[in-house]
Amino acid sequence: MIGEETFLVVYADNLFDLPLAPVVDSHRRLGATASMLLLHRADVSSSGVAALDDDGWITEFQEKPPLGTEKSHWVNAGLLVCEPEVFELIPRTGPSDLSLDVMPVLANRQRALHGHCLGPGERVMWIDTLDDLRRTEAMLASTTTESGR
């Protein structure tokens, strides 16, 4: 169904507040196989961690690294821009996971996995727990009230 088109993978437990066109445009301009939206997070224990070079290419990706072994505090924010070549990296031997099986392979390839670090005015709301959901609902309610919507 995807064919030869660039496509998005969006994790269902996150909400995004950012324009997607610049992320997709950058991905295409750079010729990346995949681009990962990255969020700077102090506690990376429940996240996939990306180590980046000076040009924003992800050179290492580790899902939920043991405490003290993380290479950075840039984590997978749950949005990927991908080219169909990503499907060629999915193991055919059984169930697989993008973060465990595909992203580390791309990170080990030269200029294959690019990171888009969230900038000013861009945000991700994590909804991993009931407390996260309540916090996000409260924030969205206050944003709606402030804007008069």
Q: What is the dihedral of CA 105, 107, 110, 112, to 10 degrees?
A: 90
Percentage of residues of the chain with pLDDT beyond 70: 95
Quick: pLDDT tens for 93-128. Answer: 888 888 999 999 999 999 999 999 998 889 898 888
User: What's the pTM?
Assistant: 0.87
Domains of the chain, residue spans = 7-147
Domain 7-147: give its CATH code.
3.90.550.10
- How far, in Å, are 41, 65, 123, 147 from residue 61 at the CA level? 15, 9, 21, 39
